[in-house]
Structure 1
Amino acid sequence: MARLRLDRAALNRTFRATSRSEGEIAARQVVARAKVLAPVATGRLRASIRVERRSTFGLRQRWTVGSDVDYAPMVNDGTRPHVIRPRTKKALKFKIGGKTVFAAVVNHPGTRARPFLDRALADVARSRGYSITQR
C-alpha cells in the first residue's frame, strides 16, 4: 500500500483543536478522491479502496487509506523495467494485435506511476489546510 505521512505537529495541533470526527471526515474525503482518481480497467482497484482507523493507546488516531489489491502499489508507484518468466509453464502466452504469441522470456519496459493515492491525499490535505511531509 502506498503511503504518505502528514506533518504530525500540524495534525496534533489540529486534533487538539477539533474533534475526532475531523479525521474521519478527512479520511473519507481521501477515499472518495482516490476512487475518482484511480485508473479503471475492471473496477476492482477502485472498489477496493478503503479507510482503516487505528488508535494508539486510545489517544492518537491514525487513518490508513489504501487498497488490498496486490497490484495497487505497482499502479500507484509504477514499476521499473523487469524480466518476466513463466512460473509453472514452459512459455508465456499473450496477445498482441489479435495474434497469440508465446515467449520464454519477456523484457517488460516497466509502467509509469499513476499516483492516485498520493494525489488524493495531497488534494484533500490542501483543501483542508494541512501540510504534507514525506519521509
Structure 2
Amino acid sequence: MAVDLSGLRGKIRRYGEGVAAIAARKVEQDTQAAAPVRTGVLRSQVSAEPPVPAGDVLVVRIRSAAAYSSYVDEGTGPHPIEGNPLLVFFWPKVGEVVFFRHVNHPGTTAREFFAEPMPARWAAALQMAKSRVNV
C-alpha cells in the first residue's frame, strides 16, 4: 500500500520557516534589550533578517550595523588615539578644557551582549517558537 507524502515536505518547510521567523524576532528583541545603552544607537542597530532557505537549511542572520558594536561586545586592549591635529577634552579633574596631540587609551571592558550569549539565546528562542507554529 502506497502512502502519499507529497505535501509533507512543504508542511515541514513551512513549519521550519515559521519557527525560524518567530525565533529570529525574539532573538532580535532579546539582543536589543541586552545591548548597553549610552545613546541608544547600538540598540537600534541590532536587527534580524527573515529566514532564507539555503538548500535543506534555513539561514537567519542577526546583526548589529553599528560600526563599533564589536568593540563594545568584545572590548578593546590599550591603544593610542591620535589627534587630527589635536584632541580636545573637558577634563573634570582639572576643571578645564585640555588639548593633546595623542592619548593612550586604557582599553574598554567587554560587555558580551552579542556573540557569547547568542547560542543560548537562539536555543531558548527556538524552544519558545516551536509551540507557536501550526501547519
**TM, length-normalised to structure 2:** 0.71
Q: Deviations over 1:17-68 (max 9, x none)?
A: x521111111111111111111111111111110124635454321111211
Tell me what 1:32 maps to: 29
| 1:58 to 1:122, Cα distance in 2 relative to 1, 3 A | closer
- d(CA) in 2 for partners of 1:102 and 1:46? 32
Instruction: Classify the secondary structure of the residue corresponding to 1:85.
Output: strand
Tell me what 1:93 maps to: 88
| 1:120 to 1:34, Cα distance in 2 relative to 1, 3 A | farther
Partners of 1:49 and 1:65 within 8 A in 2: yes
Q: Which runs of 5+ in 1 are unaligned?
A: 1-14, 130-135
**TM, length-normalised to structure 1:** 0.71
| 1:75 to 1:108, Cα distance in 2 relative to 1, 3 A | same
- d(CA) in 1 for partners of 2:114 and 2:70? 10
Larger radius of gyration: 2
Aligned residues: 113
Instruction: Classify the secondary structure of the residue corresponding to 2:114.
Output: helix
Q: Which runs of 5+ in 2 are unaligned?
A: 1-11, 128-135
Confirm or deny that 1:49 pairs with 2:7.
no
Greater RCO (Cα-Cα under 8 Å, separation 6 or more)? 1
Identity %: 33
